Copies of this chain bind each other. A is one copy, B any other.
Amino acid sequence: MFTGLSAFPLTPLNASGIDEKAFLNILKRLTDAKVDSLGVLGSTGSYAYFTREQRKRIATLAVQHADNIPVMVSIGAMSTDEVLRLADDAQQAGASALLLPALSYQKLSDEEVFGLYQDVTRQVSLPICIYDNPGTTHVVFSDALHARIATLPNIASIKIPGVPADIAAATQRVKSLRAQLPASVTIGVSGDAFAGPGLIAGCDLWYSVCGGLFPRTAKALADAAMNEDFAAVAAQAQRLDPLWALFTQHGGSLRVIAAAAGILGLTEMNCLPRPLRSLAAADVAEIQKVIAKLDLA
């Protein structure tokens, strides 16, 4: 399952809590487009803002409605005890894989980060993807740390936070990391603006925010990469530059994708967990223009 397009859907809210109908609206688009895997309760799925019970419910719903597409569930939490409880819940919900970040409140040493993965892999039988995204978790992985964690049982993939924009530098980056990993561990690019260079540079898959709402667009790009049609990858990724520019402008992809989901009528316009706030009307109007111009809907 750790190849091609892994689509990361929102977990939308309404005034009463999680908007299950809206979540299933979004999920249906992803299963219809036959994405290669689903990454629910990722950063885009706002896992960090939900209770254990809410997370179990979303994992269960996702598996029930995944149309046999494998579901990866994030089990990130500050404490190892909570991570282990979330792992149990995800397994019981029928998840096919677990996405595991290390989160920093007290700054973690490499030994502590390794210890977290060790404690979890000792208890869990599902494949695990290492979640490396310092922008949200505030934990930085060196390649040496990735290599050490990748020797643990069940480590199946690494979700890296991006690659250099320059293709030669990106290729060197992916090659260098891959050389330090067991052959069974795949490398997936995230940070949608890096999808083009990441896939051209040899990443095995795209952990995609765009793919969580615009799966046909993202699937075409990932499919081109899987077919090694790198000219098509470059052209399609470049065509999406106005979307990546919106992500940069709004401090990341989440608020833009949440606005887009509202524009498409899939969710309410305010679907983010507080303290996060939805974008202003003028920003939403601009996003609507980009969606139309890029024919994303």
Contacts and interface: CB of A to CB of B under 8 A. Distances in A.
A106 interface: yes
Instruction: Provide the main secondary structure of the chain A interface.
Output: loop
A74 to B, nearest CB: 12
Interface stretch (A47-55, A151-159, A196-204, A241-249): A47-55
Interface stretch (A19-27, A109-117, A165-173, A210-218): A109-117
Contact of A277 (B107, B112, B273): B112
B112 A276 contact: yes
A133 to B, nearest CB: 10
A276 B277 CA distance: 32
Contacts of A78: 48-49
A115 B252 contact: no
Q: Which of A106, A111, A251 has its CB near the most chain B CB atoms (within 10 A)?
A: A106
B274 A115 contact: yes
Contacts of A273: 79-81
A215 to B, nearest CB: 22
A237 interface: no
B80 A275 contact: yes
A277 B119 CA distance: 12
A15 to B, nearest CB: 12
- Please tell me how many copies of the chain the complex holds: 2
Contacts of A208: none
A251 B82 contact: no
Contacts of A138: 138
A275 B254 CA distance: 28
A92 interface: no
A251 B79 contact: no
Interface string A1-44: 00000000000000000000000000000000000000000010
A297 to B, nearest CB: 25
Nearest to A17: B81
A273 B112 CA distance: 11
A79 B274 contact: yes
A113 B135 CA distance: 18
Given A105-B136, A106-B252, A138-B138, A111 B79 contact: no
Contact of A107 (B102, B108, B112, B135): B135
Interface string A267-285: 0000001111100000000
Q: Could you say which of A51, A274, A275 has the most chain B C-beta atoms within 10 Å of its C-beta?
A: A275
Interface of A: 43, 48-51, 78-82, 102, 105-109, 111-113, 115-116, 119, 135-138, 251-252, 254, 273-277
Pairs of residues from A and B, 4 with the lowest C-beta to C-beta distance, nearest first = A80-B274, A48-B105, A49-B79, A116-B275
Given A79-B275, A108-B276, A112-B275, 11 more contacts: A48-B79, A49-B79, A49-B82, A79-B273, A79-B274, A80-B275, A105-B137, A106-B252, A109-B277, A112-B277, A115-B275
